[in-house]
């Protein structure tokens, strides 16, 4: 017991989290499947009737790969806020034999794994629904794996960071309207950064402060090819910065909020 390492405790905590996740994974997959099919149906089959280009379906599948975790992060954020306001199970974790800040690293690991498990569904589902209109030939799987992992780490950090600010579950709708929705809608989800720059260069440069811009652009660069997207490696660097800065700030804010050692 004396040689009990921090890694062992964190591994066991994540294993427990995943055990709970397994019980709800099927439901989450159903939710995800409904979201994917609805989006593809609208953007690949209905919107072209209103003049949208046929290839827009593939564009959306590429972006949806990067967005799946965002919605799930909102759910974890609500869970965390509910616990802080209610049962305070989190206080129990601060009595386990690890430094307190590692408890948040455990949250990040668990959230990231669960986001990835759910997000994996998007690409095959998109291929099945679009078939010939969506080619997987140009996918760079190495780059996709890298940006996929970084994206989901970022969403985990975002959930923690936001939870450190949200005082009550009653304010969750404000989180959605004031933070998630603008980040998502202006985060090059439905358009490329290049097209935004053509419409409004000022807004495009301001949008470089939005981490979701790098997520959308980087994922599209990995799935559809570099042309028309921000440089992939710039997206990776920017995401690393947002993860590092956001993670540090989230733990600092959590320390203040929860007053842990």
- Residues near another protein (CB under 8 A): 1, 4, 6, 8-9, 12-13, 15-16, 19-20, 23, 87-89, 91-92, 94-100, 259-261
| Token pair of 58 as six digits | 């593939």
| Token pair of 51 as six digits | 């003049």
Q: How far is the CB of 92 from another protein (least distance, A)?
A: 5
Residue 179 exposure: Cα atoms within 13 Å on the Cβ side:
20
Residue 213 exposure: Cα atoms within 13 Å on the Cβ side:
21
Q: Residue 16 or residue 231: which is nearer to another protein going by CB?
A: 16
Please report, to the nearest 10 degrees, the dihedral formed by the alpha carbons of residues 253, 254, 257, 260 taken in order. -120
Q: How far is the CB of 54 from another protein (least distance, A)?
A: 45
Q: Residue 5 or residue 168: which is nearer to another protein going by CB?
A: 5
Q: Residue 89 or residue 209: which is nearer to another protein going by CB?
A: 89
CB 153 within 8 A of CB 78: no
Q: Residue 89 or residue 137: which is nearer to another protein going by CB?
A: 89
Q: How far is the CB of 198 from another protein (least distance, A)?
A: 49
Q: Residue 99 or residue 244: which is nearer to another protein going by CB?
A: 99
| Triad 179, 46, 229: Cα angle to 5° | 50
Q: How far is the CB of 104 from another protein (least distance, A)?
A: 15
Q: How far is the CB of 6 from another protein (least distance, A)?
A: 7
CB 110 within 8 A of CB 18: yes
C-alpha 148/C-alpha 112 separation (Å) is 10
């Amino acid at each position: 017991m004396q040689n009990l390492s921090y890694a062992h405790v964190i591994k066991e905590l994540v294993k427990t989290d995943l055990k709970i996740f397994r019980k709800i994974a099927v439901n989450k997959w159903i939710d995800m499947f409904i979201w994917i099919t609805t989006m593809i149906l609208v953007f690949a089959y209905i919107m072209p009737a209103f003049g949208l280009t046929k290839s827009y379906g593939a564009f959306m599948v590429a972006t949806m790969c990067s967005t799946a975790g965002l919605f799930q992060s909102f759910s974890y954020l609500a869970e965390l806020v509910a616990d802080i306001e209610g049962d305070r199970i989190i206080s129990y974790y601060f009595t386990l034999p690890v430094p307190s800040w590692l408890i948040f690293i455990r949250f990040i690991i668990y959230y990231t794994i669960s986001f990835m498990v759910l997000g994996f569904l998007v690409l095959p589902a998109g291929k099945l629904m679009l078939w010939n209109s969506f080619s997987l030939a140009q996918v760079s799987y190495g780059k996709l794996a890298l940006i996929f992992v970084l994206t989901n780490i970022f969403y985990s950090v975002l959930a923690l960071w936001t939870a450190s600010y949200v005082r009550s579950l009653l304010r969750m709708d404000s989180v959605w309207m004031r933070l998630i929705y603008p980040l998502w809608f202006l985060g090059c989800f439905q358009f490329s950064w290049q097209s935004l720059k053509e419409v409004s260069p000022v807004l495009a440069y301001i949008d470089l402060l939005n981490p979701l811009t790098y997520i959308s652009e980087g994922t599209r660069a990995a799935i559809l090819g570099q042309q028309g997207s921000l440089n992939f490696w710039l997206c990776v660097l920017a995401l690393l910065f947002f993860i590092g800065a956001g993670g540090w700030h989230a733990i600092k804010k959590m320390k203040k909020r929860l007053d842990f050692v």
